[in-house]
Amino acid sequence: MSHQVLARKWRPRDFDSLVGQEHVVRALTHALDTGRLHHAYLFTGTRGVGKTTVSRILARALNCEVGVSARPCGVCSACVSIEQGRFPDYVEMDAASNRGVEDMAQLLEQVVYAPVSGRYKVYMIDEVHMLSGHAFNAMLKTLEEPPAHVVFILATTDPRKVPVTVLSRCLQFNLKNLPPPSIARHLAVVLEAEEVPFEHPALTLIGRAAAGSMRDALSLLDQAIAHGGGRIEASGVRDMLGAVDRHDLDRILDALEAADGRALVAIADDMLTGNAPFDRTLLDFAALLQSLALAQVGALPEEDDPGGALAERAARIAPEDLQAWYQIAIYGSRDLPLAPEPHAGFTMTLLRLLAFRADAGTAAGASSAPPRPPATPPSSPPRPTPAPAARAQVPVRTAPMARPAEPVASQPPAPQPPTAPPPTAPPPTASQSTAQPPESFDGNWPALAASVNARLGRAGLVGQFMTQSELLGWDPDSFMVRVPVKPLAEPGLVTKVRDVLTSHLGRPVAIKVEVGAVRGTTAAAVRTREQEQVQAQARARIEGDDFVQTLITGFDGTIVPDSIQPIAPTGETP
């Protein structure tokens, strides 16, 4: 078989042809050119990013017959035999299948011997995290102080499983995942050299599908050449990968901008007919939203938006909408298996995107559905109003004492216990007042929080946000607040709070949130102080009451402090 797969044929043979790992190339090049070599290297990174390739290039640089250099000649017997896998002083060991202490001991026995034909003996242990604990212990001493002619190269996809005792003995390099544009550019170079006609959008699709792995990208490229009969076309690659048509993503954004719910449902139906992958669509849509967010802050590379279409669209979408949509798309993809069936889950996710627009109140009516008449609430008998408590209940402990028997008729009437006046009732809640005008804001965040919570008429995350947060700064159009815990800063919750404040104040407002220790005044702190003041007043009234003092002195009684509770207004809980 004369054909060689592209992943092997186009494996880099020197540092200059290595793609996307400039930080590793720079460090190793300087070390080789200045002679500052380390005895142990650890290369980490996901599959297909070049760990084994870098180790082979390093072995060639150390053993090239021309001399130790960052640019091995590539034609001497040492360079050629290392590339072909038959150099006696370069040993590659797969730790996944040779993970025991016996395998490691056998390798270490050969370390003490001088190289057969090279300058250095290079031992490359792939997937080193698969070694057993005893195997790691066996190699520690040799790894720390190997003979001068030995260089260890360790590679792993999971450095967290490598003992720190091993990590501390190695010079560590983390190889990066390759970005899709870099992969697409390299694939174009390969296809031009292979004289295979191609379309650039097809290479972009392959670059995204490779998920940062150049080896996977070259394997997919081989498959695409076979699938297209010697041509690389976007439509064929999309069918091969089950990828999403970018036109569908643009249609979704158009419908969201137009607040057209029926168009969103029609898009979902069309994609069902075309057998589109709904989960992949949501993830690709999230990636598109990320590009739009980068365009809004001017961080999108020009090669990712050659015609400026993304920047133009980004200027028309509110940043808070982008953030909410991104979160919904991510969670929608995650929860899609929980839906009754994928099409239904995808449709509901699209409608959820529409519902969480900044102007969702007006967007809801844009679907051209006729308004539904308000439902008539069922009649029910009025709930009886409970009678107010007559007095504060104060248990008094009394000590037993002998008292002379007296006729019942001669006993004076018992004095009445004091009555602690109830605190002032708060303003009516949203359930008591259905139509309240918008409010102004004077900088009193706890008062605004209390007013918002009263209008909401229920406890929830929005109420917790308003109660637990403190105001850091504000202007007529925006608020900067701090919350004590991260869950209160989730984008979805912040969007809800923004919508509630917009409705409450009667004007569009923005809100920025940071997480940290709350040191200022919060509605929760104000409420706690008020409760403490009311409690102190009630206790003072009880302790200063003549009747209570008569009980204490006459019956050797004591007041139980925790038993004093202010009487709440009717219908409220103290």
Whether 419 is covered by a domain: the verdict is no
Q: Do both 45 and 74 map to the same domain?
A: yes
Whether 505 is covered by a domain: the verdict is yes
Q: Do both 16 and 135 map to the same domain?
A: yes
User: 20-24, 341-345, 368-372: which has the minimum mean pLDDT?
Assistant: 368-372
* Confidence at residue 358, expressed as pLDDT on a 0 to 100 scale: 60
* Confidence at residue 360, expressed as pLDDT on a 0 to 100 scale: 53
Residues β-bridged to residue 496: none
- pLDDT over 90 at 255, yes or no: yes
Structural domain boundaries enclosing 224: 180-241
* Confidence at residue 417, expressed as pLDDT on a 0 to 100 scale: 47
Using pLDDT thresholds of 50, 70 and 90, give the confidence band for residue 274.
confident
* Confidence at residue 331, expressed as pLDDT on a 0 to 100 scale: 92
CATH number, domain at 11?
3.40.50.300
Q: Do both 253 and 359 map to the same domain?
A: yes
- Helix count (H) and strand count (E) of the chain? 23, 10
Looking at 174, 191, 221, which one is the last position of a domain?
174
Structural domains counted in the chain: 4
For residues 127-154, give the mean pLDDT.
90
Q: Do both 28 and 152 map to the same domain?
A: yes
Whether 116 is covered by a domain: the verdict is yes
Residue 260, Cα to own-chain centre: how many angstroms?
Answer: 29
Contacts from 494-497 at CB under 8 Å and sequence distance 24+? Answer: 494/465, 495/320, 495/323, 495/324, 495/356, 496/461, 496/462, 497/462, 497/465, 497/466
Cα distances from 167 to residues 148, 159, 489, in angstroms, run 20, 9, 37
Q: Do both 103 and 214 map to the same domain?
A: no
User: What values do phi and psi take at 540, rounded to 5?
Assistant: -65, -40
Name which of 89, 136, 129 is nearest 111 in CA terms: 89
Q: Do both 114 and 189 map to the same domain?
A: no
Q: Do both 452 and 509 map to the same domain?
A: yes
Q: Angle, nearest 10°, between helix axes 461-468 and 523-543?
A: 80
Q: Do both 330 and 449 map to the same domain?
A: no
Looking at 216, 241, 266, which one is the last position of a domain?
241
Q: Do both 200 and 326 map to the same domain?
A: no
Q: Do both 230 and 298 map to the same domain?
A: no
Q: Do both 167 and 224 map to the same domain?
A: no
Buried b (16+ CB within 10 A) or exposed e, 333-347: beebeebeeeeebbb
pLDDT tens track for 280-301: 889 889 989 999 999 888 888 8
- Pairing relationship of beta strands 150-156 and 121-126 according to DSSP bridges: parallel
pLDDT > 90 fraction of the chain, expressed in percent and rounded = 22
Looking at 526, 547, 566, which one is the last position of a domain?
526
Q: Do both 141 and 22 map to the same domain?
A: yes
* Confidence at residue 342, expressed as pLDDT on a 0 to 100 scale: 92
User: pLDDT averaged over the chain?
Assistant: 80
pLDDT > 70 fraction of the chain, expressed in percent and rounded = 83
> Residue 509 CB: number of other CB atoms within 10 A?
19
Q: Quote the CA–CA distance of 447 and 433 in Å, as a whole number.
A: 18
Whether 569 is covered by a domain: the verdict is no
User: 124-128, 224-228, 237-241: which has the minimum mean pLDDT?
Assistant: 237-241
* Confidence at residue 282, expressed as pLDDT on a 0 to 100 scale: 92
* Confidence at residue 458, expressed as pLDDT on a 0 to 100 scale: 54
DSSP classification of residue 478: E
